[in-house]
Amino acid sequence: MNKVTVSGRTVDEAVQSGLQKLEAAQEEVKIQVIEEPHKGFLGLIGSKPAVVELERIPDPKKAGLTFLRDMIDKMGVRASVEVEEREEGTCFHIHGSDQDIGVLIGRRGQTLDSMQYLVNLAANRGSTEYSRFLLDAEGYRARRREALEKLAERLAHQAIRTNQAVRLEPMSAAERKVIHHALQQNSSVATRSDGKEPHRRVVVEPKK
């Protein structure tokens, strides 16, 4: 329940009733007074109660975390989630056994990327300002970045040695960005992205 309309003898009484129904603190809701209370004749006849509407203010972090935990549970995986605030957004670190984490990561991180996409959708639903959420699982993102950087250097050497362009396998936009960034200071090769999603890939070619 995210919105209630309640009445009371006073506005404050109605607000307190609404907070109890929403199980929320006053700073967590928006309050709109629909009707002020009116005293009737002799304080009795024709009196009207106060009517207020309380709507829960969206909390993207709480919504994203709840959605993620529910998703993990429905996947039959036992894992805990730790929250870290970063400059680029809020990161949900997932911890668990190697087998469970492997299920969440998927082939080359595809499952983890899909989960991250869904968490961002769920967290920002109904919010007026976009919040970015990142997902990591037992340090997978750092390990994958390191592996991609090493791959980029290895393929750059191959392109220079053979004097031919080297095409990588299709990757996500985030992983392509790692390849481009790893080789941007290499004066002997150039990189570009080729193809259409989801088959877009990086091409490493020697500079002429």
* CATH number reported for the structural domain that contains residue 39 in this entry: 3.30.30
Contacts of 12 (CB under 8 A, 6+ apart): none
Q: What are the angstrom distances between the C-alpha of 104 and each of 15, 75, 90, 132, 133?
A: 43, 9, 19, 20, 16
Domain boundary among 56, 83, 98: 56
Residues 96 and 49 in one domain: no
Domain boundary among 112, 138, 164: 138
Q: CA-based diameter of the chain, in Å?
A: 99
Residues 120 and 77 in one domain: yes
pLDDT of residue 66: 95
- pLDDT tens, the chain, 208 aa long: 688 999 988 889 988 999 898 888 888 888 999 998 887 655 555 578 889 999 888 889 999 999 999 999 999 999 999 999 998 899 999 999 999 999 999 988 999 999 999 999 999 987 778 999 999 999 999 999 999 999 999 999 999 999 999 999 999 898 999 999 999 999 999 999 999 988 899 999 998 7
Domain boundary among 117, 138, 159: 138
| Residue of 181, 186, 154, 188 lying closest to 168 (CA atoms) | 154
Residues 73 and 7 in one domain: no
pLDDT of residue 113: 93
53 has which bridge partners?
5, 32
Domains: count for the chain: 3
Residue 197 CB-density burial (10 A; 0-12 exposed, 13-18 middle, 19+ buried): exposed
pLDDT of residue 42: 57
- Sheet of strand 29-35, all strands in order from the earlier edge strand to the far edge: 3-8, 50-56, 29-35
pLDDT of residue 149: 96
Domain that includes residue 42, residue range: 3-56
Residues 124 and 68 in one domain: yes
